[in-house]
């Protein structure tokens, strides 16, 4: 009797062993979701392995309760990946898998069965196979069995086997639903010309026009099928004409899946460029043999903004597909990746699955199943696409690899870029980390040979990188002892650009109107009651908001210390910038893009669309405007205050500032006209500002690496941050000290134990926060120590009610 190794969806740091009735286990493979007894409860579990080796003699083996799905939810090839993640990030494996799978899977999902076209034909001709008689009538008449019927059929092993066989033969489809309306593919009625594109002369005017419109749209999109909706947009009289054309056999119509980009348009076909640039050729010449050899090989693609990295990704993907392997493309945030999304959809069409936050639960599950069943070979998505159930990825691409959104900051703190490299290693795949500003860590790996470096140092068609001018705020005439938000240089630049009918971007990485509310009578700064953070004024909404926990109150507040109502708004954010800009340039059309103005994807897309259509002259925004966008008419970028991110108490502040500025600068001059950048700063001599001005990544890297070496920070050491949180301040402190003493007592060689100390954000969402930083050169040692400390924290005398979270390779020390 085989034994089942199961990861329970529960906070258990090891796997469990179960058995299953012999009749059932034949269909089981790794990746199946099971219902298992755990203590007195029934919980979900994930089957990791089947073996003949019994567990230790005193282990009480229980029987699984049920098999939850008709197919495995992830391929067996991913089991080792999950094991590695659990070990490296010190997180329960079952909870990792649970987080990886699409949300909203009911413990026992609704299941429907329908006949496919082939099934209808086959059932009509020959006597149908061994499906229980009472259900046959419905299947033949309605072509479908309801969830209730399926539930009954499903109880018997024999039925399950028959139905799966029929599904494999393509006669049946098994659908798992969350709710009926969500799951079906969004299909649209499409039309296609049947034969020659020649328009017969005897047609009515409206029919002729319809045919021509169809021809034109098909040519434009480089696809045969055209959605009726789009045809109607091109020629409003096409509706009726289509029916008559179909009747005459000139056009055929069908419900089809239509891909639309986030702007609601069918993405235009981006044809392959006639010729690759020299650098693209060199890069692909190195990638090609690696992809063909089907061995693990990591590359770092350092290409300046506008150097044509997307085309490299596309052609590399093609090579992997030719080898019959899958492709995984990760982008920092899918909403920001409309460009890449559009390119891949146009080039590869139906084989793509997109995993992003805009999908409903049903759609997400649907995509997941397509991938797991091997029906889509290319997956594009944000951080969580790392877990896409591709059985054999041959190429993994991490675009904008330096982006900190690849790091998950709560509960399961994994870094999707690092994990992607590991997944590629296990899958014997090529991994490409791409960026205009590689992370210091990745570039260091490229220096010491761990990654192979690929460089694309110039923009396509030799377009110039924008000219960057620094405006020294210390030398500007002050108003009330402060420099103005808009220096004369910036105002002049904006006016000139406006008169040339060019677009401008204004960047400030801070939301709201004012970021401090200061009491004029007693000097107190208004703070969030849950967090140790000052409140930000949002003038339009008349609210004071905590940017960490979302706590909100009316802006007409009184000072909690002295009850004075005389509060003054200090500091500035994007809302203030937009306000001031309206006064400075009343004729200009101004919009703002940040998390307040674009709470929803729809609003976000609307603003971007307006910029693309040139209905906006000046776009003000936070880092949301910096990433990935291709605005061909933007020729001026203004940075209100480059120093905002320099003051953050984090060893990565310099690296972040350089990355952010370089990304923002990269938005200028991507089209026909060259770009210009004006940067206002109090620190014109700071190395991240100087090097971003000169577009000198190498120099930046050298200076940053020298600093890191001197302080023994990564990449010269590894870090693990232990974070203690709880509602009682003194217990949090006590817990942190207990663990710190234990850590020192264990006397691991060459590990620095820094702290414990209150975190820079000492209180967040009502919880007090302390941390203890472990730093060492040997990561096995470091991990061992942290494992031991975590164990100690699970037992007394560790105070109750205190949570210890382990953050391996922390990105953020706040």
* Binding footprint of ligand ADP on the chain (CB under 6 A): 273, 276-277, 280, 303, 305-311, 460, 630
* Least separation in angstroms between CB 346 and ligand ADP: 11
Residues 6+ positions from 773 with CB-CB distance below 8 Å: 719, 720, 721, 722, 752, 753, 754, 755, 813
Q: Which partner in Zn ion, ligand ADP, none is near 528 (CB below 5 to 8 A by kind)? A: Zn ion
Cα 761 from chain centroid (whole Å): 26
Nearest CB to ligand ADP, comparing residues 670 and 738:
670
* Least separation in angstroms between CB 395 and ligand ADP: 17
Task: Report the site for Zn ion in 689-728 (rule: CB under 5 A).
Answer: none
Sign of CA pseudo-dihedral 751, 757, 763, 768: positive
* Least separation in angstroms between CB 305 and ligand ADP: 5
Nearest CB to Zn ion, comparing residues 183 and 569:
569
Q: Which partner in Zn ion, ligand ADP, none is near 561 (CB below 5 to 8 A by kind)? A: Zn ion
* Least separation in angstroms between CB 456 and ligand ADP: 7
DSSP per position, 212-226: HHHHHHHHHHT-S-E
> With binding defined as CB under 5 A, does residue 559 bind Zn ion?
yes
Nearest CB to ligand ADP, comparing residues 398 and 544:
398
Q: What is the distance between the alpha carbons of residues 776 and 596, in angstroms, rounded to a whole number?
A: 41
Strand partners, 34: 45, 67
Strand partners, 591: 619
* Least separation in angstroms between CB 561 and Zn ion: 4
Nearest CB to ligand ADP, comparing residues 465 and 508:
465
Report the SS3 class of residue 711: helix
Residues 6+ positions from 44 with CB-CB distance below 8 Å: 8, 9, 33, 34, 35, 36, 68, 98, 107
- Segment contacting Zn ion by CB under 5 A, of 179-187, 349-357, 538-546, 581-589: 538-546
Tokens matching residue 666: 């990269």
Residue 751: its H or E element: strand 751-764
Nearest CB to ligand ADP, comparing residues 330 and 546:
330
* Least separation in angstroms between CB 275 and ligand ADP: 6
- Segment contacting Zn ion by CB under 5 A, of 38-46, 62-70, 239-247, 515-523: 515-523
Residue with token string 């096995």: 780
Report the SS3 class of residue 20: coil
Length of the chain, in residues: 814
Binding-site residue total for Zn ion (CB under 5 A)?
A: 15
- Segment contacting Zn ion by CB under 5 A, of 51-59, 143-151, 382-390, 559-567: 559-567
Burial readout 160-185 (b: 16 or more C-beta within 10 A, e: otherwise):
bebbeebbeeebbebbbbbeeebbee
Whether residue 756 is preceded by a cis peptide bond, meaning omega within 30 degrees of 0, is yes
> With binding defined as CB under 5 A, does residue 519 bind Zn ion?
yes
- Segment contacting Zn ion by CB under 5 A, of 226-234, 379-387, 555-563, 769-777: 555-563
* Least separation in angstroms between CB 11 and Zn ion: 27
Q: Which partner in Zn ion, ligand ADP, none is near 239 (CB below 5 to 8 A by kind)? A: none
Report the SS3 class of residue 197: coil
* Least separation in angstroms between CB 296 and ligand ADP: 25
Strand order across the beta sheet in which 503-507 lies:
467-472, 676-681, 634-639, 503-507, 618-621, 590-593
Nearest CB to ligand ADP, comparing residues 304 and 813:
304
Nearest CB to ligand ADP, comparing residues 308 and 669:
308
> With binding defined as CB under 5 A, does residue 546 bind Zn ion?
yes
Nearest CB to ligand ADP, comparing residues 397 and 419:
397
Task: Report phi then psi at 774, rounded to 5.
Answer: -105, 130
Task: Report phi then psi at 659, rounded to 5.
Answer: -60, -45
Nearest CB to ligand ADP, comparing residues 302 and 656:
302
Q: What is the distance between the alpha carbons of residues 97 and 95, in angstroms, rounded to a whole number?
A: 5
Q: Which partner in Zn ion, ligand ADP, none is near 43 (CB below 5 to 8 A by kind)? A: none
> With binding defined as CB under 5 A, does residue 562 bind Zn ion?
yes
- Segment contacting Zn ion by CB under 5 A, of 163-171, 500-508, 547-555, 614-622: 547-555
In contact, 325 and 374? CB cutoff 8 Å: no
Whether residue 715 is preceded by a cis peptide bond, meaning omega within 30 degrees of 0, is yes
Q: What is the distance between the alpha carbons of residues 331 and 456, in angstroms, rounded to a whole number?
A: 19
Which of 482, 490, 479 shows the shortest CA–CA distance to 682? 482
Between the alpha carbon of residue 194 and those of residues 248, 250, 494, the distances in Å are 11, 5, 54
Q: Which partner in Zn ion, ligand ADP, none is near 531 (CB below 5 to 8 A by kind)? A: Zn ion
Nearest CB to ligand ADP, comparing residues 280 and 793:
280
Q: What is the distance between the alpha carbons of residues 117 and 123, in angstroms, rounded to a whole number?
A: 10
- Segment contacting Zn ion by CB under 5 A, of 506-514, 527-535, 574-582, 692-700: 527-535
* Least separation in angstroms between CB 318 and ligand ADP: 14
> With binding defined as CB under 5 A, does residue 530 bind Zn ion?
yes
Q: Which partner in Zn ion, ligand ADP, none is near 306 (CB below 5 to 8 A by kind)? A: ligand ADP
In contact, 218 and 193? CB cutoff 8 Å: yes
Q: What is the distance between the alpha carbons of residues 105 and 243, in angstroms, rounded to a whole number?
A: 42
Cα 371 from chain centroid (whole Å): 17
- Segment contacting Zn ion by CB under 5 A, of 331-339, 384-392, 520-528, 778-786: 520-528
Tokens matching residue 343: 């390119």
* Least separation in angstroms between CB 403 and ligand ADP: 13
Nearest CB to ligand ADP, comparing residues 343 and 622:
343
Among 351, 551, 609, 805, binds Zn ion (CB under 5 A): 551
Q: What is the distance between the alpha carbons of residues 133 and 151, in angstroms, rounded to a whole number?
A: 15
Report the SS3 class of residue 207: helix
* Least separation in angstroms between CB 531 and Zn ion: 3
Nearest CB to ligand ADP, comparing residues 315 and 597:
315
Residue 444: its H or E element: helix 440-447
Report the SS3 class of residue 63: strand
> With binding defined as CB under 5 A, does residue 561 bind Zn ion?
yes
Q: What is the distance between the alpha carbons of residues 284 and 611, in angstroms, rounded to a whole number?
A: 34
Q: Which partner in ligand ADP, Zn ion, none is near 277 (CB below 5 to 8 A by kind)? A: ligand ADP
Q: How many CA atoms lie within 13 A of 13 on its CB side?
A: 10
Q: Which partner in ligand ADP, Zn ion, none is near 546 (CB below 5 to 8 A by kind)? A: Zn ion
- Segment contacting Zn ion by CB under 5 A, of 156-164, 397-405, 425-433, 563-571: 563-571
Q: Which partner in ligand ADP, Zn ion, none is near 564 (CB below 5 to 8 A by kind)? A: Zn ion
Nearest CB to ligand ADP, comparing residues 277 and 659:
277
Q: What is the distance between the alpha carbons of residues 309 and 457, in angstroms, rounded to a whole number?
A: 11
Nearest CB to ligand ADP, comparing residues 315 and 444:
315
> With binding defined as CB under 5 A, does residue 564 bind Zn ion?
yes
Nearest CB to Zn ion, comparing residues 457 and 550:
550
* Least separation in angstroms between CB 30 and Zn ion: 43
Q: What is the distance between the alpha carbons of residues 803 and 113, in angstroms, rounded to a whole number?
A: 46
The residues binding Zn ion (CB under 5 A) are 519, 521-522, 524, 528, 530-531, 546, 548-549, 551, 559, 561-562, 564
């Amino acid at each position: 009797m085989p034994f089942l190794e199961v990861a329970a969806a529960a906070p258990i740091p090891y796997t469990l062993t179960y058995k299953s009735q012999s009749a059932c286990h034949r269909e089981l493979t790794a990746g199946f979701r099971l219902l298992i007894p755990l203590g007195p409860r029934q919980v979900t579990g994930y089957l990791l392995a089947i073996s003949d080796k019994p567990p230790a003699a005193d282990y009480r083996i229980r029987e699984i309760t049920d098999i939850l799905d008709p197919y495995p939810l992830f391929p067996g090839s991913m089991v080792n990946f999950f094991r590695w993640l659990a070990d490296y990030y010190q997180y329960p494996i079952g909870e990792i898998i649970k987080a990886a799978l699409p949300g909203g899977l009911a413990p026992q999902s609704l299941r429907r069965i329908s006949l496919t076209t082939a099934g209808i034909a086959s059932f009509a001709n020959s006597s149908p196979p061994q499906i229980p008689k009472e259900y046959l009538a419905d299947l033949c008449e309605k072509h479908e069995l309801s969830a209730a019927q399926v539930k009954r059929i499903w109880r018997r092993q024999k039925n399950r086997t028959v139905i799966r066989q029929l599904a494999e033969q393509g006669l049946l489809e098994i659908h798992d639903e969350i709710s009926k309306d969500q799951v079906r593919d969004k299909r649209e009625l499409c039309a296609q010309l049947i034969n020659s594109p020649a328009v017969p002369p005897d047609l009515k005017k409206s029919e002729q026009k319809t045919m021509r419109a169809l021809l034109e749209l098909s040519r434009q999109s480089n696809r045969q099928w055209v959605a009726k909706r789009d045809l109607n947009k091109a020629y409003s009289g096409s509706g009726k004409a289509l029916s008559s054309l179909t009747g005459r056999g000139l056009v055929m119509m069908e419900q089809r899946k239509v891909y639309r980009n986030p702007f609601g348009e069918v993405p235009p076909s981006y044809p392959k460029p006639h010729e690759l640039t020299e650098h693209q050729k060199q890069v692909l010449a190195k990638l090609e043999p690696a992809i063909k050899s089907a061995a693990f090989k990591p590359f770092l693609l350092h290409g300046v903004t506008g150097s044509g990295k997307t085309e490299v990704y596309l052609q590399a993907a093609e090579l992997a597909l030719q080898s019959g392997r899958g492709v995984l493309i990760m982008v920092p945030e899918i909403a920001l990746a409309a460009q890449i999304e559009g390119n891949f959809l146009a080039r590869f069409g139906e084989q793509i699955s997109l995993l992003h936050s805009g999908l409903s639960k049903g759609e997400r599950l649907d995509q997941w199943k397509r991938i797991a069943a091997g029906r889509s070979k290319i997956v594009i998505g944000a951080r969580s696409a790392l877990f896409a159930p591709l059985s054999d990825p041959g190429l993994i691409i991490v675009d904008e690899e330096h982006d900190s959104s690849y790091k998950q900051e709560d509960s399961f703190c994994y870094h999707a870029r690092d994990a992607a490299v590991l997944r590629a290693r296990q899958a014997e795949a090529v991994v490409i980390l791409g960026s205009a500003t590689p992370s210091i860590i990745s570039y260091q790996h490229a220096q010491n040979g761990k990654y192979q470096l690929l460089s694309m140092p110039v923009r396509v068609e030799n377009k110039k990188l924008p000219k960057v001018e620094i405006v020294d705020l210390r030398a500007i005439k002050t108003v009330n002892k402060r420099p103005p938000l808009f220096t004369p240089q910036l105002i002049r630049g904006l006016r000139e650009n406006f008169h040339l009918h060019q677009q401008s971007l204004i960047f400030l990485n801070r939301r709201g109107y004012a970021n401090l509310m200061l009491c004029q009578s007693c000097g107190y700064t208004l703070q969030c009651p849950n967090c140790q953070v000052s409140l930000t004024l949002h003038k339009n909404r008349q609210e004071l908001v905590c940017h960490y926990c979302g706590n909100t109150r009316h802006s007409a507040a009184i000072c909690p210390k002295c009850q004075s109502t005389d509060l003054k708004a200090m500091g500035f954010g994007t809302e203030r910038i937009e306000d001031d800009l309206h006064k400075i340039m009343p004729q200009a059309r101004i919009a703002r893009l940040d998390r307040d103005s674009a709470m929803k994807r729809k609003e976000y897309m609307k603003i971007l669309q307006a910029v693309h259509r040139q209905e906006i002259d000046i776009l003000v925004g936070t880092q949301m405007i910096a990433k990935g966008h291709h605005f061909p008419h933007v020729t001026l970028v203004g940075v209100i205050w480059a120093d905002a991110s320099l003051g953050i108490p984090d060893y990565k502040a310099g690296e972040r500032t350089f990355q952010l500025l370089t990304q923002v600068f990269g938005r200028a001059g991507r089209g026909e006209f060259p770009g210009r950048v004006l940067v206002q700063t109090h620190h014109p001599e700071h190395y991240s500002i100087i090097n971003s001005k000169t577009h000198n990544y190498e120099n930046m890297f050298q200076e940053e690496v020298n600093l890191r070496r001197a302080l023994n920070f990564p990449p010269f050491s590894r870090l693990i941050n232990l974070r203690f949180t709880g509602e009682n301040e003194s217990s949090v402190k006590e817990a942190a000290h207990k663990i710190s003493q234990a850590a020192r007592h264990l006397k691991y060689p060459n590990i620095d134990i820094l702290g414990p100390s209150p975190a820079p954000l000492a209180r967040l969402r009502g919880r007090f926060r302390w941390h203890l930083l472990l730093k060492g050169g040997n990561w096995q040692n470091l991990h061992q120590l942290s494992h031991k400390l975590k164990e100690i924290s699970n037992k007394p005398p560790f105070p109750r009610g205190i949570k210890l979270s382990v953050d391996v390779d922390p990105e953020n020390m706040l």
